[in-house]
Each structure stands twice: as C-alpha cells, then as structure tokens.
A and B are shown apart, each in its own frame.
Chain A
Amino acid sequence: MAASDLRREQLEKTMKEHGFQESALVEILHKAQGIYGYLDKELLMDVAQSLNLPPSHVLGVATFYSLFKLTEPGEHIVTGCLGTACYVKGVDEIMQAIEGEFKVKRGETTPDKKLSFFVTRCIGACSMAPNIIVDDEVIGKATKEIVLESIRLALRGVKVESL
C-alpha cells in the first residue's frame, strides 16, 4: 500500500473514533497534522467533507489556532519561547542571533526547506528561562552560544540532547 493511502487510513480511523462529530474537529486536525506534518488545503477539504462541515468552517478553525501549520515546515524546527519569563530573561537577543546566522525570520522557513523558525507563547518551563526548542529538545537557561551551536549540529544531522 502506498504511504499516502496508509496515512489516509490513519486519518479515517481517527475520525471514526470520534464518530465524525463536529465537536472533535480540533482533535482531528491535531491528528491530521501529526500524520501529514501540516494541513494543506486538500487535507482540510477532505476533513470538511468527511465531517460534513462547510470548508470555510474548517479553514476558520485551522487558521484560528496558532499551533496548526498551513504550510510545509522545514526539516528542522527551532522554536523560541516568547513567554513573559523568557522575554524578561532576554530571549529576544538569542532569537535575533538565530535570525542573523541562519537567515530565517520568525514564522518562516529557509528557501531550502532545511530550517523553520517559529515562536511560541510559553511552554511553561519558565523557571529555566530563557528557553529555545531545537527539534523537540528544550534548551533551558539558554545562551546564544549554546543555541547557535545546537542548531548548527542539528543541521548537520547530530541529535541535540539536553545539556
């Protein structure tokens, strides 16, 4: 079976578990993003048809919540935490350094699709502020040097681990 069919099957299973109910739309979109990596128009259309909802409603929900990604993210994802504690502890300076070195603006992906740079509002790890997340690994008490080196390593294929 082709990979795309397998993924569709997984999605179908999730929707079935939720009884194709409108109330589970956010859960279904979470799952769809988990399976496909992001939510493109065809996928949203598919969900709308399966749940018997107007496409505008599904698109409306998908665009309302900031965790849903509507474009394909890069191979590696760096997320800066812009929560209050991280801000007060100077995360902005680290974020500017990332933008400078890797030529990628907040919310964007590099043209070669290698690196996406996102911003989140608080991951709740405030006592270790500032926090930067590199490919699911939270770097707490982050410094410019550690973060930049971690991203360089990640881009070269080395898995980043807690320091």
Chain B
Amino acid sequence: MNLSDIQKIAEQELDFQRAYTNRINVCCSSGCVHLGALKVLKAFEDAVKEFGVERECKVAKTGCFGTCSVGPAVIVDTMGRQQARLYENVTPEKARKIVQDHIVLGLPAKDMLYKNAGYFKKQNRLVLRNAGRIDPSRIQDYIAMGGYSALVKCLATMTPQGVIYEISTSRLRGRGGAGFSTGQKWGLVARAHGAPKYIVANLDEGDPGVFANRTLMEADPHAIIEGMLIAGYATGASKGYLYIRSEYPLAIQTLQKALAQAKSMSLLGNSVLETPFKFDIELRFGAGAFVAGEETAILASVEGRRAMPRPRPPYPANSGLWGKPTLIQNVETLANIPQIVSNGGIWFAKFGTPRCTGTKCFSLTGKITNPGLIEVPMGIALRDVVFDIGGGVPDGRKFKAVLVGGPSGGCLPETLLDLPIDYDSLTKVGAIMGSGGIVVIDDSDCMVCTARFFTEFCVDESCGKCTPCRAGLIRIKEIYDRIITGDGKMEDLSTLEKTGSYIREASLCGLGQTAPNPVLTTLRYFKDEYIEHIRDKTCRAGKCFKKEVP
C-alpha cells in the first residue's frame, strides 16, 4: 500500500456504497447494545431479506448518534432522495415495520420517528463527524469518508514544521481538561532532544458520568489512530501507546480490530504507506485508577508501575516515558487533528470562540430529559445545553444545579447558566472543563450529600502521595458525615473552606488541586443548605438525618 492507494480505496468503496439506494445505520455502541441493539440489527438483516431488498438496502452496524436515552436508535438514509430519518426505541418488531414502510413503500414510519428536533439544532458534530455514519469495524468506510487523506497530505506534501504550524493556527487546545495549546505542545516535543520520542494517547476516561471518549472510540477508532500518526510525523515520534480503560470492553474490541486493519494496510509499521516514516501503536490497559488519567501518572502506568504523579518540571515533553520526550494527548484532541490538516487551521478556528476554538463533546446525564452525547461549539451557554439540547429537568421537578467537569468539577447554580462554556470562564467560577461531563441535579437532590459523594470518590481515588489530598479529603468527608447526621457545627463551614483551599494549593497533581472544587462551589453557591443542615437540622431534599449514611 502506498500513498496513492488510499485514494483508490476511497473511490472503490464509494462505488460499492453507491450500488445501494438505502442504508440503515443501527447504532451498536455500548449504550444501545445494552438496550438490545444487536437483536435489532439481526431483525433488520432478516427483514431486508424477507422483503427481498437486500441488494438495494445496506444494513450497517455503526457507532453512536448521541441520542442514548432513546436507544436502540436507527438512522434510515435514502442517499439524498429524502432527509435521513432517525428512529427511536427500535425493537425487532419495529425493525420489520420500518423496512416495510420506509424501504419498500418509501414512507417513513412516522409514529416511530425521533421527535425531538431541538436536540440537534445547536450541536455541531465535527469530532463526531463519522459517528453513526460509518461502520467502525471497516477501515474502508472510514477511508471513503476522506479518512487517512490527511495523513497522506502530511506525508506527501507537508513538512513536520508545516503540520505543527497548521495545528498552531487552529488554536486547538487539549481536550483532556487543562486546555494547553496543542500546537505549542507539539512544538516542544519536536524541538526536545532525545530519541526515541513517544506519544501517549489518553483514553483513561475515569470521570464518573463521562462517556464521550468511549463513544468516540466505539464509533470512529481510525480518526484517533490517524491523529496519532500525524502527531508522530509532526513531532518525530516513532512509537505510540494508547492507554484505554479496561472498563470499556467494546471500545477495546473496536480499537484492536482497527489497529489490525491499519497494520495490514501498512498504515502502521516500519514504513508507513511506503514512506520513510515509521510508527507503531501498542495498547495499554488501565486497571481502575482514576488518577491514571493525570499526565505524569499515566506515564508511570504505561511503564508498568503504580499510577502516581510526579512533580513537573521536567515536563513530559522533555522527559516523559523512560526519560524520553513524550507527547501526551487526550483522544478527543487527536480525533480533531485529521480535519484540521485536511481543511486548514483557519477553517477550524472559525468554530467556537477566539480563545477557545472548535467544538467539545459533552456527556449529558443526571436529571435531564434527553441524556446523551452531544458536541457543541465552544462558548455555547450552559443554559442552551441544559434546556435547549437537554430538554430541561424531567418529572416536573425544578432545576437546582449543574455539575460541570466530573467529580472534581464545580456545582453551578441557575444564576450562572448563561455562562459560556470555555476553559477560562469555567475556571473563573470554580468549575473545570475536565473531560466534559455535565450532570444535572434537581430539587430532590441534597447539595451537601452531593458534595460528600464527590469527596468520597476522591478519597477512594487519591493515590496517597501528597498528605493534603490523602488526609485532608478524609477530614472533609468526616465533617460531611457529621453534618448529615445532625452533629454539624457552624464552624465546620470555615473548616471545610480552609481545608479545601489548602488541599487545592498544596497538592501536586490535578486530582488534588481540583478535588475540593465540589466542596468549595457548593459552599459558595448553596451555603443556605449547609446552614439549614447545621442550624435547623433539616434537609430540604429530605435525604439526610436518617440513621444510615447515604
């Protein structure tokens, strides 16, 4: 396989796809599979045979459309003759009816269609451009959508410096949470002395309530692989490690298959597409440690040690894996790379805001009408996400707070809902972008309990290296236990605040520095509830003062 073969494969595959006049995309991501998508897939395959339309209607097993709450979800695409239609809560019985009505008779089965048009209105699917449109187990599908053409462009026409220039122009910032400039990071690794150089792709999506990276991998694994290859070319790295949580079996399976295909087409190996560029990817599996997602902890874990962070400097760009220059990048960042190379950095910088370009994937969960995976331009207001896309709080309850940024994010009240979502605005109000979790909390939830829950999580996940984080979080949890069982004192509030800020200032890594965020933000925005618990011994959500600690 050489550089021009990619174009040939794309043309062949497009010809093959054009032979079909209809395409049924069945979402087979984890969410829909748990709800029975594989049975639905089988039912579609049987139905197209039963109605004798298997030569004109392709049934494809695809990734996620983002409408996880109404799974199994299915898209019927009539190849441009009509608008593609999305069906919700599909069952094997409904599948047969959809084939009969939509494919055979050409009339969409109206009563089964997804009715919530608002869900997609404010979204902008760039990273998820292929999610739900291609079969992730077929590399040809990816290539037909323009996949690997960015790699070809790099290898055939661009210098490594040229690639870095393009990424810098895009002003892309790391999607793992900290928001460091990607172009700048690549430049540091490219200029660093030492060989070999390494790339670590971070898919240790340990934040509870977040599943964006998992979904991305299950839907479009080659975009991540292509991003790693381009990063390798630009920085001079020859080896990549992809670190993935072992809690994600389907994503691992999809990835392993994709890697094997890429190898067999000489997209990986000693001579990528018959050029002098050499790059290989090895997998590393997480084993249930939240802290392993931290930049220096992930390096320790890849080296086979306990995932414990170390002080910086030296920065991984100069001294990472085995002391060699290492580029660490979240997989969502990497999946952005091919489109930036293909369309140019200026094109990418048009999305989002001037300081935060592009889009961001968010997992929208909790007390929300339309939970699912969304991708929105940076700078969109939280209110638009919660109410316009998410459909607000269900069951007639009232919105109380939104937790942005995972267990070490911040709990923000309704008054802050007009805040634009970007790295800087979120940090200013005590939250973080994190890996993109948005959990909505309603008036039946107690903010004191919620803060205690996150603290407990961080107690469990603290690696134990820094005393403020290891011991301080336990002290905070003890105070919470007192408050919710009726033994709280008013001075506990200032102790919480003080301890929280000490932990934030005196911890080495991101986990410790952000762990007190839920404590500090709930104290800042929901102090009334704390006071009610302590002074009046009442919990407005009715969750506390029971015998057992919840």
Contacts and interface: CB of A to CB of B under 8 A. Distances in A.
Interface of A: 21-27, 29-30, 57, 60-61, 64-68, 82-89, 92, 96, 120-129, 131, 138, 140, 162
A92 B439 contact: no
Among A23, A57, A92, chain B packs the most CB atoms within 10 A around the CB of A23
B510 interface: no
Given A27-B284, A84-B437, A89-B366, A124 B301 contact: no
Contacts of B305: 22, 25, 57, 61
Contacts of A61: 304-306
B365 A126 contact: yes
B445 A128 contact: no
Nearest to B218: A124
Interface stretch (B17-25, B206-214, B266-274, B522-530): B206-214
Contacts, number: 144
A66 B287 contact: yes
Given A67-B287, A88-B367, 16 more contacts: A23-B302, A66-B460, A82-B457, A84-B439, A85-B365, A85-B371, A85-B439, A87-B208, A88-B366, A88-B439, A89-B366, A124-B210, A124-B214, A129-B366, A140-B31, A162-B36
A159 to B, nearest CB: 15
A128 B305 CA distance: 34
Contacts of B364: 127
Interface in B23-78: 30-31, 34-36, 68-69, 71
Interface string B507-550: 00000000000000000000000000000000000000000101
A84 B365 contact: yes
Interface string B280-314: 00001111111000000000011111110000000
Contacts of A92: 550
B316 to A, nearest CB: 16
B425 interface: no
Nearest to A162: B36
Nearest to A66: B288
25 contacts: A22-B303, A22-B304, A23-B303, A24-B304, A61-B305, A68-B287, A84-B365, A84-B366, A84-B439, A85-B209, A85-B366, A89-B367, A120-B247, A121-B208, A122-B208, A123-B247, A124-B30, A124-B245, A126-B209, A127-B371, A128-B31, A128-B69, A129-B366, A131-B34, A162-B36
A82 B304 CA distance: 27
Interface of B: 30-31, 34-36, 68-69, 71, 205-211, 214, 245-248, 284-290, 301-307, 363-367, 371-373, 403, 406-407, 437, 439, 441, 445, 450, 453-454, 457, 460-461, 463, 548, 550
Contacts of A128: 31, 34-35, 68-69, 71
A133 to B, nearest CB: 10
Contacts of A26: 284-285, 287, 301, 304
A126 B284 CA distance: 24
Given A29-B287, A67-B288, A138-B34, A124 B302 contact: no
Contacts of A123: 247
A30 B287 contact: yes
Contacts of A129: 365-366, 371
A68 B294 CA distance: 20
B439 A82 contact: no
B336 to A, nearest CB: 21
Nearest to A87: B453
Contacts of A22: 303-305
Given A67-B246, A128-B34, A121 B461 contact: yes
A92 to B, nearest CB: 6
Given A88-B367, A122-B208, A64 B68 contact: no
A126 to B, nearest CB: 4
A143 to B, nearest CB: 15
List 4 tightest A-B contacts by C-beta distance, closest first: A83-B208, A127-B68, A65-B287, A84-B209
A86 B30 CA distance: 16
A72 B550 CA distance: 28
Nearest to A140: B34
A123 B251 CA distance: 12
A131 B365 CA distance: 13
B304 A25 contact: yes
B68 A124 contact: no
Contact of A127 (B31, B36, B403): B31
Contacts of B247: 67, 120, 122-124
B113 to A, nearest CB: 20
A122 B68 contact: no
Contacts of B373: 127
Given A84-B208, A126-B371, A121 B457 contact: yes
Nearest to A67: B288
